[in-house]
Amino acid sequence: MAISKQDFEKLKELVRDICGINITDDKFMVIERKLESFLSIISSQNFNEFLEKLALPSGFLLREKLIDVITTNETLFFRDVHPFETFSTIVIPRIEDLLKSRTDLSEGKFRIWSAGSSTGQEPYSIAMLLNEYSEKKKTLSPDKIEILASDISSSVLSRAISGQFNSSQIKRGLKPYFLDKYFQKSGNKWVIDEKIRNMVEFRRINLIDNFSILGKFDVVLCRNVLIYFDTQMRKNVLEKINRVLFDGGFLFVGASEIIMDFESQFSSERNGSTIFYRKKLSETDSHPAIQSL
């Protein structure tokens, strides 16, 4: 079933309204192939019929399936390596020092958010690093750590929650040390250790929605997500992320993603190949210890 250019424009507008993803014109043929198969599965004869089904009470489930079709859930353990080295050697000690200066018990936990976590490799990588740090330093106890992982796709979240990975996924980015220590073979799957799995809370979150209810975070990882948004949507998402970061909190984005027009809110730092960002302190910052880090 061929998709007309007019239908493609309708689709782009629809997807942007649903999840903020900006489908560019060069993706026409790829999307057409995906959508053709999708429409046949849901027994729609044409695109207009598909739009009508989206408007039905059951349209929410259909919209979720559409998102699954058009999104790219590319991920791997310790993706790009160097950002995780920076997180382990620089960010964790800085945040631990910051926690010591907090007098409010409600702010006494190390909170990390992996936004756009897909099938879970990123938050599980973070959990393993934090567990390693906790075992080595004996100063950051697991009960002081909260890791939130979110995605817009319920199907990939279900796979992430299971903590099960096939051999192909395991071979991508996971060093033998972490495999031997944190995974067990079960049939043709590798299952992550229950302790690591319990460190991560998975939740469906649409980044175009208001997520202030999540509270404040010390670190937000929004890596290789912003590239799918247009300029205005990226700005909107970054502004909301800024609001949920503690003063002095850290933001990691993808290597090809550059934060523009946010110099007044974030300062950039470099550690080797990694460029990461830090929310600037407000004039009324109540944690002066962070200023000397």
Q: Provide the number of structural domains found in the chain.
A: 2
> Are residues 55 and 152 both part of a single domain?
no
286 pLDDT more than 70: no
> Are residues 40 and 87 both part of a single domain?
no
Residue 17 counted as domain residue: yes
> Are residues 33 and 146 both part of a single domain?
no
> Are residues 100 and 208 both part of a single domain?
yes
> Are residues 123 and 21 both part of a single domain?
no
> Are residues 146 and 228 both part of a single domain?
yes
Q: Which domain holds residue 18?
A: 5-70
> Are residues 56 and 104 both part of a single domain?
no
> Are residues 103 and 53 both part of a single domain?
no
> Are residues 23 and 165 both part of a single domain?
no
Contacts of 60 (CB under 8 A, 6+ apart): none
* 99-108, 154-163, 237-246: segment of lowest average pLDDT: 99-108
> Are residues 113 and 52 both part of a single domain?
no
Q: Which residues, in sequence order, are bridge partners of residue 202?
A: 149
CA distances to 7, 58, 175, 234 from 13, rounded to whole Å, are 10, 20, 42, 16
Q: How confident is the model at residue 69 (pLDDT cuts 50, 70, 90)?
A: confident
> Are residues 162 and 42 both part of a single domain?
no
> Are residues 47 and 157 both part of a single domain?
no
CB neighbours (10 Å) of residue 23?
Answer: 19
Residue 75 counted as domain residue: no
The residue that leads in pLDDT, 9 or 166, is 166
Query: What CATH number should be reported for the domain holding residue 153?
Result: 3.40.50.150
* 5-9, 13-17, 33-37: segment of lowest average pLDDT: 33-37
Residue 176 counted as domain residue: yes
Q: What is the predicted pLDDT for the residue at 7?
A: 79
Give the predicted TM-score (pTM) of the model: 0.87
Q: What distance in Å separates the CA atoms of residue 156 and residue 261, rounded to the nearest whole number?
A: 32
Q: How confident is the model at residue 42 (pLDDT cuts 50, 70, 90)?
A: low
Percent of the chain with pLDDT over 90: 53
